[in-house]
Each structure stands twice: as C-alpha cells, then as structure tokens.
Amino acid sequence: RRPKNFPPGPPVLPILGNLLHLNPQNPLEDLEKLRKSYGNVYSLFLGPKPIVVINGVKAMKEAMVIKAAEFAGRPQDTIVNDVFDVKGVILADYGTSWREHRRFALMTLRNFGLGKKSMEDRIHDEIQHTIKTLDESIGRTLCPQVMFHNVASNIICQVLFGTRYEYDDEFVTTIIQCVTEITKIFNGPWAMLYDCLPFIRNLPLPFNKAFKNIKRSSDLVLRLLNEHKNTRTPGEPRDFLDCYLDEMEKKAEDSSFSEDKLIFTALDLLFAGTDTTSNTLLTAFLYLMNHPHIQEQCQQEIDQVLEGKDQACFDDRHQMPYMQAVIHESQRIANTVSLSIFHCTTKDTELAGYSIPKGMMIVQNLSTVLKEEGQWKYPHEFNPDNFLNDQGEFVKPDAFIPFSAGPRMCLGEGLARMELFLIMVTLLRKFKFIWPEDAGKPDYTPIFGVTLTPKPYPMKVQHRL
C-alpha cells in the first residue's frame, strides 16, 4: 500500500511489487510509459521496496538543486553496496567521509592539472597512442570499442597511479573486463532480484560474478598501493595514491581516510571515469560516421581554427561553436548514465507536493530530461542545432544534465569535458571516419546497464591531410 500523499504509481502485486511492469533487460521504455501515466514524480515497488522515480527538468531541479541536501544520500541496502563493502565517494552516504573524500578527489584532480605536466598534456600523450592504432588500421575495418576504453582508462590511470598501460597489459584488460561486467550486472535482472528477494543472496547465482570482479580489481589496486608505499618520498606526490598517503599521515586518528578507502576511492574514479567517457566517444563516432555532413562541418571548423597550430588546446573550444554543439549533442543522445546513480532521501521531505519519507530510494531518470519535449528544438533526433542559436553561437539549455545536478553531481565533469573535446578534435582533424559499405544499417539502440553502451560496430578510417 502506498502511504498517504505518496507519489502515485501502478497497482502493486504481493511479493513481486511492480517487477512485472519493468523489462529487466532494459526498463527505460517501461519507465517512460509509467511517466506518461503517472506524471513526473511516481513510485514503484521493487518487490517489497518502494522507490520514487523523478522525471523532467522541473522535478529534477527541485530535488537535486533546491532541496539538494535532502536528496543527496545514497541507498545502503542494494547489491552495489554489498559488492563495494568499503565506500569511497560514489556509494558513500551523505556525511563527513563522503564530503572529505569528494573534496580531496576534486582537489587532487585539479592539482594534477596544474602540476608539471598538465592534464591537457597527459590527454594529448594518450591520444598519440590512439592515432597510432588508427594509422595501423588504414584501409582495414576496425572495432573501436577497446581503443576508446583504453584511452579513457589510461588517462585516469595516469592521474591515479602515475602510469599508462599498453593496450594488452594484464592490469588494463582485467580492469576493463571487470568494469564492463559489473556495470551490466548492477542494472540487470539478477541485481534486481538480489535487491528484492534477500533469501536468494547466498545462492550461487550470476550476481556472484560482481563480487568476484570487485575482489580481482581491488587486489590489483592493492598491489599498486604496496609498490607505491615502497617507492614514495613523503611530501613529493607523484600521483593520486601518493597524495592520499600524504593526506593520511597528516590526518588525526579519527580521520575518515584509510588504506581501504583509498583502494575503493581509486576504483571509483577508475570505474566512473572509464566506461562513461568511452561510451560517449563510441556514440559520438557512431553518429558522425552516419551523418557525414556533420562530420565534415566539424572538420571545416577545426581546420580553420587550428590553422598553423600543432595541436588543439581546451581553450580553443571558445572558437568552435559547431564542434561544441556536436560534442554536447553526442552526450545528450548518448545519455550515458541514463538512470544516474541511485540517490536516497536524508530526511522526510516533499517533492512536487508529494510526501517522501527519509531513507527512500530515488531514481533520477535523466533520459526524460535529455529528451524532454519543450526543452529541445529536436528532442528525438541527432541534431547539433539543439545547442546553436540563430546566430550559430553555442548555447547550453538548462535541460543539459548528463552529469546530473546538485551536490552529488559528477565530480569528473571537468576532466570528461576536456577529454571529449581534445580527443574528438584531434582525431577528426587527422582522420575521416567512414561507416563500412558492408556494415548494413546502423543500430543506434544501446545495450542497457549503469552506462548505456552502443552495440559493437565496425569503423573505417582514412587520412585527411
């Protein structure tokens, strides 16, 4: 039964709740139908557990920005929490440890951008390896999945561990395999059953793979941490791990910093920074190959602005309104973290006039904002005009929230935007990307998970210059 003044929703079945209303392989269409029936704030029961789903920019901003602190918790009773038994930033509940770790991570990311080698240089160094891979693929058909995953994970690995890895290195291949599998398990049917039916948790079912993967990944980071402890000079940090170890030495005994949290904060950044950026890039190139006139217009602008320059810098974006529009439009269409990361209310509160009790799981359906009718000129098609005004200037509508909003919003936004700009501009300047003639019609429907992933697709490249 729904309590009085609780958000409305479909009738609830005993034991199953509303599970039959959702296609566990991909519930996005079902969630959209429910929005049409029950409005922008509605409720569902996953088994016995109620959740509130927020849709549309108005309700989203009321919750995440106006009532920020009330909606900034993270649920602590899902499979994700059991898999990550130590909390870094992403899964930590709203409180001191989360605040200290978030501030520390932001500061360290920023400082590494200001250090001897700037973040832009690190990104450019990594792009050289992508260029090499593409050079070697001229005239052949390649699958860009692994290439884009590697570029994103190597950029974050440089910040975290001070090193990059060859594309076939065991560390990178293991981590990428673990990330990809874990994200799919978390938003898949087995995770839903794990959350709803506690009695199945100890059974040997497919969700156990997520536990195994997290153990494999944390052991790999522990190995790196031990190496760092043996080779570091206190006060002269080389990377994120060293900075954290310095910070631990400075902190008092009741500090929230610990080696366990270091391992899981590093994994958070590695996981959050790899699958997101790479899937956005994959979506962007899938659309650019199939909209060659848009690809050409980007290249014209790039050639004009970068004429006589060796390489692009992030500031060049201000002279490239069309390129900016294409990158933002790719992010809007990619809708990479479509259901954000689940939130939880920190106290009894209200939303859109409904009463929502403390501890309620909150799902932000970001797709409904990124494709909201009335907010976009062309909500349902790939069209850079969504971000251009009549004078051809770049404009960012309020409904552009792929990084979410409020105190929990993505802390890697700055890094992600820099990566997307430098990678796309550099590659488009050098190569023409072609949809192979024998590839048939492109399938734009993504595979559902914590991140939406384009189905594997082929690509051909030609040199431009």
Q: Cβ distance 91 to 344 under 8 Å?
A: no
Q: Which position's Cβ is nearest ligand HEM?
A: 412
Q: Which is nearer to ligand HEM, 121 or 432 (CB)?
A: 121
Distance CA 439, CA 50 (A): 44
- Give contact residues for ligand HEM (rule: CB under 6 A): 89-90, 102, 156, 268-269, 272-273, 276-277, 280, 336-337, 340-341, 343, 402-404, 408-412, 415-416
Query: Is the alpha carbon torsion for 263, 269, 272, 275 positive or negative?
Result: negative
Q: Which is nearer to ligand HEM, 19 or 156 (CB)?
A: 156
Which of 420, 444, 401, 322 has the alpha carbon at shortest distance from 56?
A: 401
Q: How far is the CB of 89 from ligand HEM (least distance, A)?
A: 5
Listed in order, strand segments (DSSP E) in 265-331 are none
Q: How far is the CB of 269 from ligand HEM (least distance, A)?
A: 5
Q: How far is the CB of 83 from ligand HEM (least distance, A)?
A: 16
Q: How far is the CB of 459 from ligand HEM (least distance, A)?
A: 20
Q: Which is nearer to ligand HEM, 40 or 283 (CB)?
A: 283
Helices (H), 208-253: 208-231, 240-250
Helices (H), 307-365: 321-334
Q: How far is the CB of 368 from ligand HEM (least distance, A)?
A: 14
Q: Which is nearer to ligand HEM, 298 or 416 (CB)?
A: 416
Question: How do strand 361-364 and strand 49-54 relate by DSSP bridges?
Answer: parallel
313 is in an annotated binding site: no
> Could you say which DSSP state residue 66 is in?
I
Tokens representing residue 401 in the block:
């929230």
Distance CA 411, CA 40 (A): 26
Residue 331: CB atoms within 10 A of its CB come to: 22
Q: Which is nearer to ligand HEM, 365 or 375 (CB)?
A: 365
| Contacts of 411 by beta carbon, 8 Å cutoff, 6+ apart | 89, 102, 105, 106, 109
Q: Which is nearer to ligand HEM, 328 or 429 (CB)?
A: 328
Q: Which is nearer to ligand HEM, 7 or 402 (CB)?
A: 402
From residue 375, give the alpha-carbon distance in Å to each of 34, 365, 369, 391. 20, 15, 8, 19
Q: How far is the CB of 276 from ligand HEM (least distance, A)?
A: 3
Burial class (CB in 10 A: 0-12, 13-18, 19+), 253: exposed
Distance CA 199, CA 89 (A): 29
Question: How do strand 431-434 and strand 349-351 relate by DSSP bridges?
Answer: unpaired
DSSP 88-120: -STTPPSSHHHHHHHHHHHHHHHHHHHSSS-HH
Q: How far is the CB of 179 from ligand HEM (least distance, A)?
A: 12
> Could you say which DSSP state residue 132 is in?
H
Q: Which is nearer to ligand HEM, 44 or 416 (CB)?
A: 416
Question: 463 — phi, psi (to 5°)?
Answer: -70, 145
Q: How far is the CB of 26 from ligand HEM (least distance, A)?
A: 18
Q: Which residues are annotated as a binding site?
A: 410
Binding residues for heme: 410
